[in-house]
Amino acid sequence: MQISLNSKQVLTEEARGSRGVAVEVKDVSIAYGGRTVLEHLSLEIAAGEFVAIVGRSGCGKSTLLRSIAGLEVPQTGRITFGRAATSSGKPDVRVMFQDSRLLPWKRILPNVMLGLEPSLIPQAGRVLTQVGLADRAHDWPATLSGGQRQRVALARALVHDPNLLLLDEPLGSLDALTRIEMQELIEDVWRSRGFTALLVTHDVAEAITLADRVVLIEEGRVALDEVMHLPRPRTRGSARFAALEERILGRVLQRRSALRDPW
Amino acid sequence: MSQSQPNSAKQSQLRPRTIVREGLAWVVPIALLLAWQWASSAGVLSHRILPAPRDVLSAFVTLSASGELWTHVRVSTLRALSGFAVGGGLGLALGLLTGSLRWAETLLDTTLQMVRNIPPLALIPLVILWFGIDETAKLFLVSLGVFFPIYINTYHGIRSVDRGLLEMGKSYGLSGWPLYREIILPGALPSILVGVRFSLGFMWVILIVAETISARSGIGYMTMNAREFMQTDVMLVGVLMYALLGKLADLLAKGLERYWLRWNPAYQAAH
């Protein structure tokens, strides 16, 4: 109940989501070899909303993202999408992985063009310009830095003009400075294009910087679902940001401190 | 501009060093050749055992001037290449099949692994019985020899294609032939090319044996024929031709690797 109320609030607050698609995860369970990863998890995401999922390693947050991407099939429950602004009405869902997963045998521009008609080269070129790598179009991926490779991966996802962009810890392996740059870039393209975004991250500050809503998953269930009312662009230095970060981080760490204390 | 300065300085520093290194590789062969020539001229080496390099060279000139050598080289090369095409093509096709389709692996792989353990040369008596001493016999042996290195490396290459890339490709809507062309084949290519290099070496070994045992033309025939007449110089020309052709095939395979795997820093040509 709480969840759907919150997301509706966000939608009316800012009339976004011309490109985005709504997502409804209902009662989804996934288990691997007897170990439950997701347990009757439900989550609603409004069209155009930016939701960040945080949680400890192994809490099931990546599995949730992978099942929304269609890379895992849930044993119970279902995942449905709202009607998307595409010709078929089916949403265009793109994933950005933690490793860039560029094809090493294709130069940068052909990598961005993966699965596209050759007539869309100008479009791919524009997206490369948007991520600031137009001059590297004819280089091999092996010659790029980790941050540049992730920017190419972002361009590859954006060129399809997705309705839903799934980000599976895409900045996890980047250095701190590159990470801040990438966060700004992701926020910019999300604001200009209005797709729905779901970010899985272990970095609470990153989640607060980017997301409309931060969802904490613990042991396969939603343990916390909170709307971020901070104005954008958000600066980490502000007192409200710091207070939010401390509270959410404290909530993430709670379970461990409960374990430590036997009484 | 200021950045390119130390770079070019580094390159000009490297160049003489690479020349020295390339030259160093030829020191031993040239020294051996000189020692051989000296031993023959001084009478240490009997002409019947090992003719002098100069005699080998003059035999080479006579044979190539008469065109006899080139006829044999052409025949041998044609045999090698057609055997390579048949065996390599089959190995590639079956490797792709068993690598890509689980049921094909279950159906074929055990059988192929059993047959693989039979050395092709062990089949020579049977092959002579089946095909006589015709072209077919040599084609069969060479094809069999090159089949397995290419089959195994293709199979292994397909199986070891990065799962993450496959998953990414599928999530980008690739399936069937496009997925194969964009991700599976290029991912398996480094391994396939290793198989090609192995089989090129093996191709000549098998052909030499096959031609030595029974042939009416080809380098192996020329060498065996020369033995009848104790023409050690012609025999050596034959042996050296094999070495030359083998080296040529290897260079070709290396060239293919450098071109097809130019995206891989490990295969980039050192400039």
Residue A83 DSSP label = P
Residue with tokens 């993430």: A252
In Å, how far are A115, A131, A171, B67 from A55, measured between CA atoms? 33, 29, 16, 79
Q: Is residue A86 part of a domain?
A: yes
Count of structural domains, chain A? 1
pLDDT in tens, A38-93: 999 999 999 999 999 999 888 889 999 999 999 999 999 999 998 877 777 788 99
**B49-266: CATH superfamily:** MetI-like (1.10.3720.10)
Give DSSP secondary structure letters for A220-260: TEEEEEEE--PPSSP-TTSHHHHHHHHHHHHHHHHHHHHHH
Q: Quick one: which of B120, B93, B81, B97 has its CA closest to B200?
A: B81
Q: Is residue A6 part of a domain?
A: yes
Neighbours of A196 (CB within 10 A): 29
Answer yes or no: are the C-beta atoms of A104 and A98 closer than 8 Å: no
pLDDT in tens, A179-206: 999 999 999 999 999 999 999 999 999 9
What pLDDT is recorded for position B13?
Answer: 53
Specify the 3-state DSSP secondary structure of A87. coil
What pLDDT is recorded for position A57?
Answer: 86
Instruction: Kindly state the tokens that stand for A33.
Output: 């070899």
Q: Is residue A46 part of a domain?
A: yes
- Note whether A140 contacts B: Cβ–Cβ < 8 A: yes
Average of per-residue pLDDT values in chain A:
87
pLDDT along chain B (271 residues), means of 10: 42 68 86 90 84 91 92 93 96 93 90 88 88 87 94 94 93 90 94 93 89 85 90 91 89 90 77 40
Give the span between the Cα atoms of A196 and A47, in whole angstroms: 6
Instruction: With CB atoms and an 8 Å threshold, state whether A94 touches B264.
Output: no
What pLDDT is recorded for position B14?
Answer: 59
Spacing of C-alpha A43 from chain mean position? 14
**Residues of B at the A interface (Cβ-Cβ below 8 Å)?**
164-165, 167-169, 171-174, 178, 182-183, 186-187, 189, 261-265
Residue with tokens 């294609």: B161
What pLDDT is recorded for position B193?
Answer: 94
Helices in A57-215 by DSSP H: which ranges? 61-68, 108-112, 121-130, 146-158, 176-193, 204-210
Give the span between the Cα atoms of B197 and B202, in whole angstroms: 9
Residues contacting B234, CB < 8 A, separation 6+: B59, B63, B222, B223, B226
pLDDT grade, residue A258 (50/70/90)?
Answer: low
Structural domain spans, chain B:
1-45, 49-266
Residue to mutate among B263, B264, B267, B268, with most A CBs inside 10 A, is B263
CA atoms within 13 A on the CB side of B15: 6
Q: Is residue A102 part of a domain?
A: no
Instruction: Kindly state the tokens that stand for A58.
Output: 């192994």
Return the bridge partners of A240, or none.
none
Give the span between the Cα atoms of A202 and A149, in whole angstroms: 21
Full domain range(s) for residue A42:
2-92+161-260
Would strands A221-227 and A213-218 be described as parallel, antiparallel, or unpaired? antiparallel
Instruction: With CB atoms and an 8 Å threshold, state whether A97 touches B186.
Output: no
Q: One-letter amino acid identity for A37?
A: V
- Note whether A247 contacts B: Cβ–Cβ < 8 A: no
Q: Measure CB to CB from residue A103 to each of B165, B167, B178 and give the nearest one.
A: B165
Neighbours of A251 (CB within 10 A): 17
What pLDDT is recorded for position B77?
Answer: 93
Distance from CA of A177 to the nearest CA of B (A): 24
Answer yes or no: are the C-beta atoms of A257 and A251 closer than 8 Å: no
- Note whether A73 contacts B: Cβ–Cβ < 8 A: no
Q: Is the pLDDT of residue A257 over 70?
A: no
What pLDDT is recorded for position B3?
Answer: 41
What pLDDT is recorded for position B18?
Answer: 79
ipTM over 0.90: no
Give the span between the Cα atoms of A41 and B39, in whole angstroms: 87
- Note whether A70 contacts B: Cβ–Cβ < 8 A: yes
Q: One-letter amino acid identity for A76?
A: T
Give the span between the Cα atoms of A171 and A150, in whole angstroms: 8
- Note whether A97 contacts B: Cβ–Cβ < 8 A: yes
Neighbours of B221 (CB within 10 A): 18
Residues contacting B252, CB < 8 A, separation 6+: B200
Q: What is the CATH number of the domain that holds A181?
A: 3.40.50.300
Give the span between the Cα atoms of A40 and A77, in whole angstroms: 7
Give the span between the Cα atoms of A138 and B194, in whole angstroms: 27
Answer yes or no: are the C-beta atoms of A76 and A42 closer than 8 Å: no
